[in-house]
């Protein structure tokens, strides 16, 4: 078990060596927000598992091009597409370009997300709309475009048992209320019901729809929670497994969940959180 006192040191945050089965060969995948953090790790993880990858980004193209280059170094094909996932026309264009380039998509991972935090009574409508627009409406637009393509193409059993796999990125905050982050927690709670309702609707088409719910993962979105020893120690009070999650912890789980090894799983949320949702405050009897 890592020493929580020094646990902000990377060597004390031991994450397993990546192990990816070549389970996604021939399955083009689109990942939103894939130029950093969890999205980048998933893009690389899926490429290690054999997938060709569309790297969606917004803003500076260079980090996305670096990810695409790393994917190509793994022997897979990659393309970058800029699109603001909260904009319908941009998402539609992104899918059209991706499908034209790769012929189809077998996997879509709606990962793009952001925070705009404020005490509730000071939260502006702009902060509310921004987070709901990207985290929830963005996932709706991405999911709808993916399902339309999965339906259009239909089954290709020689490539995958399922006719398509959609993975939404939620958070432990679909379950754990989060003061000061009402817009973010609401967006993730919305993803839970959206994901399950889509899953119910498209299951007869053999389209699988699931979600991953990360806990505290070492990425830019939550830097303040881990980048000083004091912050890290405080964070460990919330993580029974006593280490922060690394983006590759999420990528390995995502690669498995969209593979045929997980074929009977639909409508499920997989918490990847080192036990954060185990109510650690009750570990000593409450």
**Residues in contact with ligand NAD, total (CB under 6 A)?**
27
Question: Rounded to the nearest whole angstrom, what is the least distance from the CB of residue 58 to ligand NAD in the complex?
Answer: 4
DSSP string, 242-269: -SPBPHHHHHHHHHHHTSGGGTT--S-E
Q: According to the binding rule CB under 6 A, does residue 216 interact with ligand NAD?
A: yes
Whether 184 is a known active-site residue: answer yes
Using the contact rule CB under 6 A, the part of the chain among 13-21, 30-38, 45-53, 70-78 near ligand NAD is 30-38
Region class of 59: left (phi > 0), else alpha (psi between -120 and 50), else beta: left
Question: Rounded to the nearest whole angstrom, what is the least distance from the CB of residue 94 to ligand NAD in the complex?
Answer: 9
Half-sphere exposure of 166 (CA within 13 A, CB side): 33
Taking the C-alpha atoms of residue 57 and residue 112, their distance in angstroms, rounded to an integer, is 8
Given the residues 20, 57, 184, 232, the one annotated as active site: 184
Question: Rounded to the nearest whole angstrom, what is the least distance from the CB of residue 134 to ligand NAD in the complex?
Answer: 4
Using the contact rule CB under 6 A, the part of the chain among 94-102, 111-119, 144-152, 259-267 near ligand NAD is 111-119
Within a 10 A sphere around the Cβ of 215, how many other Cβ atoms?
A: 23
Binding mask 224-263 for ligand NAD (x = CB under 6 A): ----------------------------------------
Distance set, CA 246 to CA 156, 232, 236, 258, 277 (Å) = 34, 14, 14, 19, 17
Site for ligand NAD in 52-81 (CB under 6 A): 56, 58
3-state DSSP assignment of residue 47: helix
Which one of residues 7, 29, 31, 39 is an interface residue with ligand NAD (CB under 6 A)?
Answer: 39
DSSP string, 130-167: HHIIIIIIHHHHHHHHHHHHHHHH---TTT-SSSEEEE
Q: Which residues are catalytic?
A: 184
Q: Where do contacts with ligand NAD occur on this chain (CB under 6 A)? A: 32-33, 35-39, 56, 58, 84-86, 111-114, 134, 138, 169, 171, 214, 216-217, 219-222
């Amino acid at each position: 078990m890592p020493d929580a006192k020094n646990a902000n040191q990377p060597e004390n945050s031991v994450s397993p060596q990546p192990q990816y089965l070549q389970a996604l060969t021939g399955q083009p995948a689109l990942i939103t927000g894939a130029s950093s953090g969890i999205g980048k790790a998933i893009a690389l993880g899926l490429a290690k598992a054999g997938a060709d990858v569309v790297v969606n980004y917004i803003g500076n193209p260079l980090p996305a091009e670096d990810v695409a280059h790393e994917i190509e170094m793994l022997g897979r094909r990659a393309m970058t597409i800029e699109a603001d996932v909260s904009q319908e026309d941009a998402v539609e264009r992104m899918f059209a370009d991706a499908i034209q380039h790769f012929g189809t998509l077998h996997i879509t991972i709606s990962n793009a997300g952001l925070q705009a935090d404020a005490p509730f009574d000071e939260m502006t409508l702009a902060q509310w709309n921004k987070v709901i627009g990207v985290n929830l409406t963005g996932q709706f637009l991405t999911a709808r475009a993916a399902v339309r393509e999965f339906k259009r193409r239909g089954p290709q059993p020689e490539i995958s048992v399922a006719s398509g796999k959609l993975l939404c990125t939620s958070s432990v905050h679909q379950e754990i209320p989060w003061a000061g982050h009402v817009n973010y927690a609401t967006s993730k709670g919305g993803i839970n019901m959206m994901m399950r309702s889509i899953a119910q609707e498209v299951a007869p088409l053999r389209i699988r729809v699931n979600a991953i719910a990360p806990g505290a993962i070492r990425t830019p979105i939550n830097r303040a929670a881990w980048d000083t020893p004091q912050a890290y120690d405080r964070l460990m009070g919330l993580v029974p497994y006593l280490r922060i999650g690394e983006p590759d912890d999420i990528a390995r789980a995502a690669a498995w969940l969209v593979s045929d090894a997980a074929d009977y799983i639909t409508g499920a949320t997989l918490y990847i959180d080192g036990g954060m949702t185990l109510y650690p405050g009750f570990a000593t009897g409450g």
